[in-house]
Amino acid sequence: MKQNYKVVLKYDGSRYNGWQKQGNTKNTIQEKLENIMSDIAGEKIEVFGSGRTDAGTHAWGQVANFHMDWAETEKALFERINALLPEDIAVISLEKAENRFHARLNAKAKKYVYRIWNSSVSPVFERKYVFVNETKLDVESMKKGANYLIGEHDFKNYCSNKRMKKSTVRNLYSIEFVQKEQELQIVYLGNGFLYNMVRIITGTLIEVGEGKRTAESVRAVFEGQNRQCAGFTAPAKGLVLAEVYYDKR
């Protein structure tokens, strides 16, 4: 039986069409990894990620697993993979896992960070990783709006997938705001996230911070008719998959 391996990755998603491999492009993180693993193993290797990240979205702690025959040490495999990866993708840890471990199916919670540059001065070195919003944001109002999102709700109106057939109920455990000079980080922790959910919530909260909508309107989105009740979809480049948890939070 092949050994199951768990890896944690970080990547700059700027030039990729997201995590998940697609029929119309080979430029995805998953496909890059599978090609490298397959070259190492000498046979087709399938890589399972903890979840999709959109085109242009980054990761500090994406988790994946794969099954492979490998006669050498974990350290040797770790070094071999990193030697073949492009400079904007890196494996930061690799370990043997139980055979039944699955990066997506066993995930209990995920943490995402959305980074907003709230200044008229260009973030020269961080420009690919933050959303520049020059309008001064009322963070206290954003916090009030965010409070309405905490807990278990049907987030269908905070989702871009109009044809979602599975349950759109998710549990948001916390939303924290971290100010680092000109950068405002919004940190989301939940048991799962729908397509574009974090980006739509962020866009909605930004509109609250700009005074374009009230904090109470964030709650009203749940009772709204469709996705248009929520705010704009914040750009992918400000979003980072920070961490995936496999124990209950």
3-state secondary structure of 35: helix
Q: Of 54, 69, 138, 247, which residue is the catalytic one?
A: 54
Whole-angstrom distance, CA of residue 246 vs CA of residue 249: 9
Q: What is the amino acid identity at position 179?
A: Q
DSSP state of 22: B
Whole-angstrom distance, CA of residue 3 vs CA of residue 15: 32
User: Can 54 be counted among the known catalytic residues?
Assistant: yes
Instruction: Compute CA distances 99 → 1, 108, 136, whole Å.
Output: 9, 18, 51
- Supply angle C-alpha 50, 247, 57, rounded to 5: 30
Would you name the residues annotated as active-site residues? 54
